[in-house]
Amino acid sequence: MVQKDMLALGRRRSVIREIFEYGRKRKVEIGAENVFDFSLGNPSIPAPPQVTETLSRLLQNTDPATLHAYTSAPGDPQVRQSVANYVKDTFGFAASPALIYMTAGAAASLTVTLTALVGPGDEVVVLAPFFPEYTVFIERTGATVRPILCREEDFQVDPTALSHAITPNTRAIIINSPNNPTGAVLSLESVKAIAAILTEKETAFGHPIYLISDEPYRELTYGGVEVPYLPLYYPDTVVCYSFSKSLSLPGERIGYILVSPTATDAADVFDAVCGAGRALGFVCAPSLFQHMVKDCIGLVADITAYDRNRRRLLEILTDCGFDVVKPDGAFYLFMRSLEPDAVAFCERAREQELLLVPSDDFGMPGFVRIAYCVSFEQIERSEEAFRRLADSYQGGH
Amino acid sequence: MVQKDMLALGRRRSVIREIFEYGRKRKVEIGAENVFDFSLGNPSIPAPPQVTETLSRLLQNTDPATLHAYTSAPGDPQVRQSVANYVKDTFGFAASPALIYMTAGAAASLTVTLTALVGPGDEVVVLAPFFPEYTVFIERTGATVRPILCREEDFQVDPTALSHAITPNTRAIIINSPNNPTGAVLSLESVKAIAAILTEKETAFGHPIYLISDEPYRELTYGGVEVPYLPLYYPDTVVCYSFSKSLSLPGERIGYILVSPTATDAADVFDAVCGAGRALGFVCAPSLFQHMVKDCIGLVADITAYDRNRRRLLEILTDCGFDVVKPDGAFYLFMRSLEPDAVAFCERAREQELLLVPSDDFGMPGFVRIAYCVSFEQIERSEEAFRRLADSYQGGH
């Protein structure tokens, strides 16, 4: 007597969550230090001290009835202005505060944007491998998911595949760079290729194709790699941002939607975003954390720990002979499975107490995701386990 | 090129918000002290000091990476346990922590619950006058709104109207007590009548009819009036709660859904709630405020100011000869318009700088809503304006 699709979704435990739960039990059985849990993308570094200071100061110095009041639905005007200023100063892009809508994090940014832009009969292109919740969010609007595979050698977009995937029903494409699950950062060359293809298809089909840039990992890059700011390269862009990873505040749910002023019908897109936020039950983004953004935007948690993990893990895996594409961002590493069935490979890894996530749910079989937002000690201790896993495939089977 | 329904919704400025915006401009023109703005239901009292203390303490004493981490989707287990304990201790109702889902406030509680329970072809009964966003939330699921009028003399339910409104397609009914916009509290007699009718219809139609109890104003009652706890009287109840008003934290978005363990298919309802939360993009309720709930549940902001406003306003309006039903809860007063067209009445009130909300959007014409969550000074200063408004109807027009 409940909605069947929601029941199925509520019961469909995420594979990642199941592995994590297994890990919790296993740690009790054999000791936490003996389980190498690389399953969850849960930030392990603290928020910058300025975030805690700002929150404490706001609580001490602001009238609570003002501090915790409803903001207007798109957010506090000064907060929206601070986001626009930051985007201008950082990327040289003339964002408009009137087209910025504060949200309860990345998932909310995506559901609100998708609900505003697509519906039954529409198609949304996603680049595999991709965050599995995209399917949930897109299907809830009634639209259809059209996945295309990225190139396995570098996880950059395959222009031919993209060009073929776009039909007259394509209304949007989701881009996620730095990427979950690969850690890849889309190169400027890839971005320009995507922009050219989308522009060509817009002209051919006579309607806009909105590029939804899902960028919760924007600031998490290593070795000086740059993440091109998509609104600079493609007019019909909507940025879905979250502070979850940059400020290490995943549970607090704070982010924003930025509609490019250059987008087709930009004002309509923004109004539809407001309507969608209202229909889905997002009254305003949490007010204390909105006010925090005014003072803390541009700060980034100390991600040197992630980088150290990344470099050591790459070294270990390469040493063991695994086939790995060096990730430039986020805190994930995508590694080729040593047998075609990644689920079977993960089961064998589990015998070594290594908890890895098979790539099937990300839409690209034959790989595993390793979330390295863990302690450095865990990386070090896992070396022998990875070696035993690699050895177990020696001599064929 | 955007979703038409979302665009229309985003553009449809709420009448309340428009009056409020007019008031802002008018205050600049003639001075804030000369505008009597009763339009917005925005709490004007501060959060209890313990809330600020708890938040500050959590920020000082907890590792930020833990404090701001994702909780599990239904919420932190200890927080859910604290809600269950509170419900047990306060209402004597055996709530289960396994059936409590922490949410981002009342609107989220409602959209998640409705998405879990109803869809195209279903009908949801609402008692007019009602919070206008109910229509938005219900229609987004594809279900149909079936409003019935409450009795004008006391805003209690009309059992005959309720009985006639329920069809084989009725899947749910929303009850809101204390009520926005009337301030009425459903009597125990009304609750028992509703329970009896719903039970009879469940038997007749052979399927559950879920009662969704929207109770953000539960603790805001005056003169010792009690709000019956609905799960005690009707098994198929889902409570949608928010701390927005009890703790005066409307902008922070924190509340919960409680599925009664006695509800038909309670575990399925809860799983569908989890699925709906996921599909709508609610990853977890804001974590800092979840942890606050553990320590602060049961506290209530100092509502004596609201009560003082209520009593003085009643006195003024009665003195002026207006027809008013004494409100027992929330911070609203519903007053009969002095002409059949409440919009015209509000325009005439505006000539006296009185900003009132016509009742049409609440689904019951001929009344106005007066939100008295304002300063006591504003109530006092408005006396002459109300008197002039009443006088302007003397001798006909």
Q: Which of B296, B313, B347 is the last residue of a domain?
A: B296
Average pLDDT over residues A279-293: 97
Whether B156 is in a domain gets the answer yes
Cα–Cα–Cα angle for A273, B273, B186, nearest 5°? 95
Let me know whether B126 and B207 are in one domain.
Answer: yes
Chain B: give the shortest CA distance to residue A95, in Å. 20
Q: Which of A296, A320, A346 is the last residue of a domain?
A: A296
Rounded CA-CA distance A211/A124 in Å is: 10
Interface membership of A181 toward B (CB under 8 Å): no
Whether A289 is in a domain gets the answer yes
Whether B53 is in a domain gets the answer no
Whether B132 is in a domain gets the answer yes
Let me know whether A27 and A102 are in one domain.
Answer: no
Summarize pLDDT for A233-259 with one digit per residue, the tens: 999 999 999 999 999 999 999 999 999
Rounded CA-CA distance A60/A178 in Å is: 37
Let me know whether A228 and A144 are in one domain.
Answer: yes
Let me know whether B211 and B99 are in one domain.
Answer: yes
Contact list, B249 vs chain A (CB under 8 Å): 68
Whether A1 and B280 lie within 8 Å, measured CB to CB: no
CATH of the domain at A197: 3.40.640.10
Asked if B256 and B229 count as a contact pair (C-beta separation under 8 A), the reply is no
Asked if A126 and A147 count as a contact pair (C-beta separation under 8 A), the reply is yes
Give the mutation candidate from A14, A67, A280, A293 for the B interface (greatest B CB count, under 10 A).
A280
Structural domains of chain A, count: 2
Q: What is the pLDDT of residue A12?
A: 86
Let me know whether A199 and A289 are in one domain.
Answer: yes
Asked if B280 and A253 count as a contact pair (C-beta separation under 8 A), the reply is no
Let me know whether B99 and B148 are in one domain.
Answer: yes
Contact list, A272 vs chain B (CB under 8 Å): 2-3, 6-7, 10
pTM above 0.90, yes or no: yes
Give the nearest partner residue to B137 out of A12, A268, A281, using CB atoms.
A281
Is the model's pLDDT at A397 over the cut of 90? no
Chain B: give the shortest CA distance to residue A204, in Å. 16
Quick one: A65 exposed, middle or buried, by C-beta within 10 A (0-12, 13-18, 19+)?
middle
B 242-261: CB under 8 A from A: 248-253
The domain in which residue A125 lies consists of: 69-296
Let me know whether B43 and B133 are in one domain.
Answer: no
CATH of the domain at B378: 3.90.1150.10
Let me know whether B118 and B223 are in one domain.
Answer: yes
ipTM value for the complex: 0.95
Whether A62 is in a domain gets the answer no
Give the mutation candidate from A13, A252, A284, A287 for the B interface (greatest B CB count, under 10 A).
A252
Let me know whether A365 and A234 are in one domain.
Answer: no
Whether A277 is in a domain gets the answer yes
Whether A191 is in a domain gets the answer yes
- Residue whose entry in the numeric block shows the structure tokens 């890849």: A184
Let me know whether B193 and B134 are in one domain.
Answer: yes
Whether B61 is in a domain gets the answer no
Let me know whether A271 and A241 are in one domain.
Answer: yes
A 90-119: CB under 8 A from B: 104-105, 107-112, 115-119
Let me know whether B152 and B289 are in one domain.
Answer: yes
Asked if A217 and A358 count as a contact pair (C-beta separation under 8 A), the reply is no
Q: What is the pLDDT of residue B396?
A: 53
Summarize pLDDT for A117-165 with one digit per residue, the tens: 999 999 999 999 999 999 999 999 999 999 999 999 999 999 999 999 9
Asked if B44 and B373 count as a contact pair (C-beta separation under 8 A), the reply is yes
Contact list, A275 vs chain B (CB under 8 Å): 3, 5-12
Q: Which of A248, A274, A296 is the last residue of a domain?
A: A296
Residue of B nearest to A134 (CA): B279
Torsion (CA) A38, A40, A43, A44 in degrees, nearest 10? -50
Average pLDDT over residues A13-18: 81
Q: Which residues of B234-262 are buried (b: 16+ CB within 10 A; e: fewer)?
A: bbbbbbbbbbbbbbbbbbbbbbbbbbbbe
Per-residue pLDDT of chain B (397 residues; tens, 9 = 90+): 899 999 999 998 778 878 988 998 999 999 999 999 999 888 889 999 999 999 999 999 999 999 999 999 999 999 999 999 999 999 999 999 999 999 999 999 999 999 999 999 999 999 999 999 999 999 999 999 999 999 999 999 999 999 999 999 999 999 999 999 999 999 999 999 999 999 999 999 999 999 999 999 999 999 999 999 999 999 999 999 999 999 999 999 999 999 999 999 999 999 999 999 999 999 999 999 999 999 999 999 999 999 999 999 999 999 999 999 999 999 999 999 999 999 999 999 999 999 999 999 999 999 999 999 999 999 999 999 999 999 999 865 4
Rounded CA-CA distance A8/A12 in Å is: 6
Average pLDDT over residues A60-69: 96
Quick one: A394 exposed, middle or buried, by C-beta within 10 A (0-12, 13-18, 19+)?
exposed
Rg (CA), chain A: 21
